């Protein structure tokens, strides 16, 4: 991941509503990420069985078609468009939210509108960009009416699709945004505050997972943007450590 010019980072942090200051020389004993196992058994995900570009592309096409035709839960009757995901399908970063909102339902793309703009600013602040080494998805692929919280049966119906996305992507790191996404992925009712600042793991691939606030929440509670910035720096540091520990070509 390339270094971001300090002036550009200052602009992105300003967009997040976070004051910018020049970082002092880092301590020789920087804090290491705290590695923990999921607080409850996480959902299992099978590694992708397909190999090669053509079979992977075919697997994505099949997944898109299944989601478009899905009637596993009642949400298919009220949605405008299914929302599978968007971004780089070879991405090493995977961002997961809870469910599409009204604008996502209209456009068929996750995280658009004001929340999407803030998410894009959050990603840019750590040197990332939508569509470049980042894939963005939700647990639910259909919008719940009135943007209510997903119901357990809806999560159960949609989760296999997300599991297949993870198996195809094989991301190096998952960033779960929001309490509902984090709790469903980790199989816990622990508060978001207690889930933050730790490295969790998801599924059979044991993918490292970091938790932060949902952009929509940050729009309502801008005082927590600085905490979100700390989460992003934590995730970036972890990603770099994982990249350094991964053999070339993996």
CATH of the domain at 194: 3.40.470.10
Number of domains in the chain: 1
Segment 32-54 mean pLDDT: 45
123 located within any domain: yes
Segment 20-48 mean pLDDT: 42
Residue 209 pLDDT > 90: yes
The CA angle 167-171-177, to the nearest 5 degrees, is: 105
Q: Who wins on pLDDT, 20 or 76?
A: 76
Query: pLDDT confidence of 66, banded at 50, 70, 90?
Result: very high
When the pLDDT of each residue in the chain is averaged and rounded to a whole number, the result is 85
144 located within any domain: yes
pLDDT at 5: 57
Q: What range defines the domain where residue 149 resides? A: 36-245
Cα separation of 62 and 83, whole Å? 15
Residue 15 pLDDT > 70: no
pLDDT by residue (tens digit) across 68-105?
999 999 999 999 999 999 999 999 999 999 999 999 99
238 located within any domain: yes
pLDDT at 17: 56
pLDDT at 9: 54
Q: Side-chain half-sphere of 136: how many Cα atoms within 13 Å?
A: 24
pLDDT at 161: 97
Segment 55-79 mean pLDDT: 95
1 located within any domain: no
77 located within any domain: yes
177 located within any domain: yes
Segment 166-185 mean pLDDT: 97
- 102: part of which helix (H) or strand (E)? helix 102-107
């Amino acid at each position: 991941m390339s270094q971001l010019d300090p002036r550009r980072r200052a602009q992105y942090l300003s967009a997040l509503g976070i004051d910018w200051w020049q970082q002092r020389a880092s301590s020789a004993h920087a804090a290491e990420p705290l590695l923990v196992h999921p607080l409850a058994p996480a959902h299992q995900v099978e590694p992708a069985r397909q190999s090669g570009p053509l079979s992977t592309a075919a697997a994505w096409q099949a997944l898109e078609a299944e989601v478009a035709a899905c009637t596993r839960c009642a949400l298919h009757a009220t949605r405008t468009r299914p929302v599978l995901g968007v971004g780089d399908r070879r991405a090493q970063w995977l961002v997961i939210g809870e469910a599409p909102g009204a604008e996502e339902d209209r456009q068929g793309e996750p995280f658009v509108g004001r929340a999407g703009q803030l998410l894009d600013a959050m990603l840019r602040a750590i040197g990332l960009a939508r569509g470049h080494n980042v894939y963005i998805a939700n647990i639910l692929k259909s919008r719940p009416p009135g943007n209510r919280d997903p119901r357990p049966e809806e999560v159960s119906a949609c989760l296999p699709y997300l599991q297949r996305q993870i198996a195809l992507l094989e991301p190096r790191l998952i960033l779960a945004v929001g309490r509902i996404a984090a709790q469903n992925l980790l199989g816990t009712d622990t508060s978001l505050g207690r889930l933050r600042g730790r490295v969790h793991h998801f599924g059979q691939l044991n993918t490292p997972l970091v938790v932060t606030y949902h952009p929509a929440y940050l729009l309502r509670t801008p005082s927590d943007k600085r905490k979100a910035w700390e989460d992003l720096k934590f995730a970036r540091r972890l990603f770099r450590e994982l990249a350094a520990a991964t053999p070339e070509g993996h």
